[in-house]
Amino acid sequence: MTPGGRLQAAIEALDQARLDGRPADRVLHDYFRERRYVGGKDRRAISDLFWAMERNRARLAADCALAEGRNPTDAAVRAEAGRRLAMAFCVRERAEGVADLSLFTGESYAPVAVAPREQDWLKALRQVKISQRPEWAWAETPEWLWPRFVEIYGDAREAEVEAARAEGSVDLRVNALKTTRDEAAARLAAEGVETAPMPYAPLGLRCLTRANVAATGAFKDGWVEVQDESAQLAALLVGAKPGESVVDFCAGAGGKTLALAAAMKNSGRLIACDVRQARLDRSAVRLRRAGAFNVTRRALESETDKWVKRHKGTFDRVLVDAPCSGSGTWRRNPDARWRATPEGLAELTALQGRILDSAARLTRPGGRLLYATCSILPEENRARVEDFLTRHAEYRILPVADAWPEEAGPLPAGLAGMECLSLTPGRHGTDGFFVAAFERAAAADDNTQERDDAP
């Protein structure tokens, strides 16, 4: 494809993302799937333009509003294609010193020529000073959430904002059922993928350069899985051991289920639950590739499915990776921040409480319950922990140092002193993630008074 053709393709994909409201990565995936003739280099170039726009959405909307002399609104983001292109070039100009309108020729699938009125608008846009932007727009954070981020990060907010705007690293978890970290790193290197050990996760490798990991033999043979270091640590703190009974209560597509199966060495009972059968079905391919054979997938009607009552107090370990705002993953899903609403957050926190209450019934006396979110918001994290403990005196928090498995080696210094695991992109180089480990009192000390007729 010509440079102009790549640019036009990015415009089309952006238009589609705005029109149907689906997650941007799915829109881009479907765009390429419907155009299999687009080669690998072209896909990379189109993707770069597409995500540059998504990662600068609020800044560009604010600049547009300043240029037009009005406040930022959704209308500024939903500008016509020609203006959006001007915005995209404005990003490149400010980031790289590049602004080339010569690609707007209308020839060979290139975008149509920039009209005189658009030239005037672009000139006004370039005159906007970056210092004029509101702070929430500079931070690429919804205006209603920005005060919470200031409260959370304080003086570290600039570093955290930049880390959350940067493209996330490609992290791999080595499958201990099939290989070791050193062997996996060597095989990946032989296939052209350079990696380095992660600072916290003992089975983690971080890719040092861009690479198509899914095309490697190491991936196809189940030696490695793509998984952020934070998620690897969440699975690690479950402390699952061979022969135990473990449930992944919100398993989704099975990333943490795979890690738990490896920790259990395919021995014992591992149940992967979710309310969406389709997500569980997608995990089947991953489980086969990884050689994880001790997993049973079970779809639930809701968090209070009758299956929960029938299996009350029968699991050694229970992991609840709860549905959440995903605010910790915005560096990987930059468009997700604009789907967050105050009403949606309130609904999520209520759901998180219900899920945690129900899943807690599965834990045997003396067992461990893990609550995790890929969020940095206290409403979804510490507040849920404190709320849970007020209703469940039979549980206590297990500090990270106590939950850390002995076989994982010494606790990394960067995680020392944490009561609950709290990770951020700026401080730890991971997705934002929260994990609270609870231990249920042994039977003699268990003072829970659950009714036999609980749903």
Q: How many CA atoms lie within 13 A of 355 on its CB side?
A: 29
Confirm whether 374 is a catalytic residue: yes
Amino acid at 199: P
Residue 371's nearest CA partner among 234, 180, 171 is 234
A 10 A CB-CB count for 454 gives 12
In sequence order, the 6+-apart residues with CB closer than 8 A to the CB of 164 are 140, 330, 331, 425, 426, 432
In whole angstroms, what is the distance from residue 89 CA to residue 91 CA? 5
Q: Find the distance separating the first CA and the last CA of the chain, reported in whole Å.
A: 59
Q: What are the distances in angstroms from CA 114 to CA 81, 86, 101?
A: 11, 9, 8
176: left (phi over 0), alpha (psi -120 to 50) or beta: alpha
What are the CA-CA distances from residue 223 to residues 177, 199, 425 (Å)? 8, 20, 26
CB atoms within 10 A of CB 373: 26
Residue 157 half-sphere exposure toward CB, CA atoms < 13 A: 16
Which is the catalytic residue, given 64, 250, 273, 374?
A: 374
- How far apart CA 158 and CA 179 sit, in angstroms, is 40
Q: Pairing mode, if any, of strands 395-397 and 295-299?
A: unpaired
Helix (H) or strand (E) holding 4: helix 3-20
Half-sphere exposure of 295 (CA within 13 A, CB side): 30
Q: How far is 39 from 405, CA to CA, in rounded Å?
A: 45
Catalytic positions, please?
Answer: 374
